[in-house]
Amino acid sequence: MSTDKKPVPFEEKLEALETLVTRMEEGELSLDELLATYEQGVKLADSLKKDLENAQNRLSELKQGALKPIEEA
Residues that bind another protein (CB under 8 A): 10-11, 14, 17-18, 20-21, 24-25, 27, 31, 34-35, 38, 41-42, 45, 48-49, 52, 55-56, 59, 62-63, 66, 70, 72-73
Residue 20: CB minimum distance to another protein, A: 7
> DSSP H helical segments within 1-73, as ranges?
10-25, 31-67
Q: Rank residues 4 and 72 by Cβ distance to another protein and give the closer one.
A: 72
Q: How far is CA 27 from CA 7, 31, 44, 62, in A?
A: 31, 10, 20, 44
